[in-house]
Structure 1
Amino acid sequence: MVKALLAVVANVSVLTALLVYFGWVRADRMSLALGADEAIFGMTVDDYVRRSIRSVFWIPVVAAGVGLLWVWADHRLRLLRRDEPSSSVLEWTERWLWLVAVMLFVLGVAVGWINDPWAFRLSPLVCATALLLLLYSVHLRSTRSGGLPFTPLADGVLRGAVALLVAVGLFWSAANFAVVEGDELAREYESRISTLPGVEISSARPLDLRAPGVVETCISTDAELRHHYSGLRLMESTNGRYFLVSDEWSPRYGVIFVLPADAEDLRFAFVRDLDGLRTDTAATECPTDTSTIEEADDVP
């Protein structure tokens, strides 16, 4: 069963598809909570994979820990069966381990209904562990003295069914990890805006970037008048585009600006000014072009 699971999980195509899915779940939950749609970011496969690592990191760690614990317990039971065949611990384990597995499965299902992030994450893992424990209980009962072993066909079907259900449980738990992480990132986003890279934009034409905290000034040079925008933060950089938010972004009113990263008439400066020391003496308020208004006044 372990070989069958590893053969599937270790497949590069399957592993990539799973990581992309978990990354998409995380990005989708965060985007929806921020009032946006994940599709506008146009993320690539690499973007999704990088965002899924934190969501699935604990799954193999927990699985490995449970596997090592099972190896230790199985070794102890084998020693008892060899040295003390009439041990009460061995007899109780062989007789009642199935009941413990069933109770653990019910507990896992019940935990899933608790409104708690960790309960939501671990519920499928508890159910998967209970299924493995039930399979081991069946194995102990069939191999003890007087037990009736399964036929090869029945044994293969049983192991295959449990392996499939355990794989579903691991997949479900990883998806739940991604959901919780996306929600937590969105909930903490407003408090993390000040830690995002600051962005200042210089443009030969007005960009009309209007949001709380965005400041527009103009810098006059001998060649041209450039529009300068500050008070912006880098939200994402994907697919050749910058996604920017303002310093005063809030869940109540938040704007996401999308600008091409390789535009010829735009210049981006990424600033770290923790204490607000920067001052622009050359920057002034942009002049208002009233020519179009005056022409409109002449029209009867």
Structure 2
Amino acid sequence: MNEPQPSPAKEAQPAGPAGAPSWTKLINIMIAQASFIAALMFYLGVTYTDAYYGYYHLSPFDLGFGFAEFALQSLNLLTFPVLVAVVVLLIAVALNARGSRRVLPDVVARCHLVVVAAGLLLLILWWQWQLLPQYRWAGPLLIGVGLLLGVVPRDDVAPSRGLWDTAVSIFAAGVFLFWAVTLVAGQLGDQHARNDGRHTNRRTALVVYSARRLALFNPALGVGSEDLGNAVHLRYRYTGLRLITARGGRYYALPIKWQARTDPVYILRESDNVRFEFMPGVK
């Protein structure tokens, strides 16, 4: 009777793609995250730039801004309060990762309805009576934070929400947080434009030389004119202008005593009969 022969030991198979880190998946995740961040920066940059130049009766789309320029404009949102909020958020995430996840939720998550109600109250105060306009972003922010706190697991409450309810709450929180960020971007753009408009003398001074008279002379707005004589080709010299921006061969300028509600913005183009000089503004 033949005894069964032991089967030969199987050689260890090298770890396949399932056992080894997939560089393709990692690269795809990084590309997706980078695309989302770039799209968010573009959107916030458009919102900020539209509010900033809208104060000067200009549109950034007419100025010819591109994707990269809009994205870079979003960096104006990195103010000190925003950086402090980001640092606090990173500290909270670090504490959550180190095992302190039960401390914050049990103390704060119970009050998520109070946070949502407070945000709704601020939203009504701003929407109906235009109260606290400088903090109109606080309402959507509190509602979004309250909705997120409502889906955080707690020790004293058994999880009863289904996946659908949790997904809806997270989606709604994202919408309100996105709304809050949009309001912040628009408010900062308008605020920065107003600050620059109040200090026009600090902007780059634009001196215009022209072979013909231009409809720029306006002593009431601080724009002066000087005739240099027949011996000079560009005989008319205009001062008292401040540069807003230069785009596509066009120079957008305003008078030094410019007022947003009543005064115009000048659009000038350089040619053989018009020349510009840039001077430092008075500080």
Q: TM-score, normalised by structure 2?
A: 0.70
In 2, the alpha carbon distance for the partners of 1:46 and 1:242 equals: 21
In 1, the alpha carbon distance for the partners of 2:137 and 2:263 equals: 30
In 2, the alpha carbon distance for the partners of 1:148 and 1:256 equals: 60
Question: Counterpart in 2 of 1:52?
Answer: 74
What is the one-letter code of the residue matched to 2:91? L
In 2, the alpha carbon distance for the partners of 1:40 and 1:97 equals: 47
Q: Tell whether the 8 Å contact from 1:26 to 1:178 is kept in structure 2 after alignment.
A: yes
1:141/1:210 Cα in 2 relative to 1: closer, same or farther (>3 Å)? farther
1:116 and 2:159 are equivalent in the alignment = no
In 2, the alpha carbon distance for the partners of 1:148 and 1:181 equals: 40
1:51/1:37 Cα in 2 relative to 1: closer, same or farther (>3 Å)? same
1:233 and 2:242 are equivalent in the alignment = yes
Higher mean alpha-carbon deviation, 237-246 vs 158-167, is at: 158-167
Question: Counterpart in 1 of 2:4?
Answer: none
Question: Counterpart in 1 of 2:275?
Answer: 267
How many aligned residue pairs are there?
246
1:15/1:239 Cα in 2 relative to 1: closer, same or farther (>3 Å)? farther
1:252/1:72 Cα in 2 relative to 1: closer, same or farther (>3 Å)? closer
In 2, the alpha carbon distance for the partners of 1:116 and 1:170 equals: 19
- Which residues of 2 match residues 127-146 of structure 1 at below 5 A? 127-137=143-153, 140=155
Pick the aligned partner of 1:14 from 32, 36, 45: 36
Q: Deviations over 1:76-101 (max 9, x none)?
A: 465x8xxxxxxxx99xx3xx865411
Deviation at 1:102, TM superposition (A): 1.0
Q: Tell whether the 8 Å contact from 1:9 to 1:15 is kept in structure 2 after alignment.
A: no
SS in 1 for 2:206: strand
SS in 2 for 1:242: strand
Q: Tell whether the 8 Å contact from 2:253 to 2:267 is kept in structure 1 after alignment.
A: yes
Pick the aligned partner of 1:176 from 169, 175, 183: 183
Deviation at 1:164, TM superposition (A): 2.6
Q: Deviations over 1:94-121 (max 9, x none)?
A: xx86541111111122223353255323
Deviation at 1:216, TM superposition (A): 2.0
- Which residues of 2 match residues 160-175 of structure 1 at below 5 A? 160-175=167-182
SS in 2 for 1:209: coil
Deviation at 1:11, TM superposition (A): 3.4
SS in 2 for 1:11: helix
- Please, what is the CA RMSD of the aligned residues? 3.5
What is the one-letter code of the residue matched to 2:144? A
Kindly, what percent of the aligned residue pairs are identical?
A: 20
Question: Counterpart in 1 of 2:265?
Answer: 256
Q: Tell whether the 8 Å contact from 2:209 to 2:234 is kept in structure 1 after alignment.
A: no
Deviation at 1:177, TM superposition (A): 0.8
| Structure 1: stretches of 5+ with no match in the other structure | 1-6, 81-88, 276-300
1:17/1:263 Cα in 2 relative to 1: closer, same or farther (>3 Å)? farther
| Structure 2: stretches of 5+ with no match in the other structure | 1-28
Question: Counterpart in 1 of 2:253?
Answer: 244
Question: Counterpart in 2 of 1:24?
Answer: 46
Question: Counterpart in 2 of 1:69?
Answer: 92
Q: TM-score, normalised by structure 1?
A: 0.67
Pick the aligned partner of 1:206 from 213, 230, 241: 213
SS in 1 for 2:192: helix
SS in 2 for 1:127: helix
Q: Tell whether the 8 Å contact from 1:236 to 1:243 is kept in structure 2 after alignment.
A: yes
1:17/1:265 Cα in 2 relative to 1: closer, same or farther (>3 Å)? farther
1:8/1:59 Cα in 2 relative to 1: closer, same or farther (>3 Å)? farther
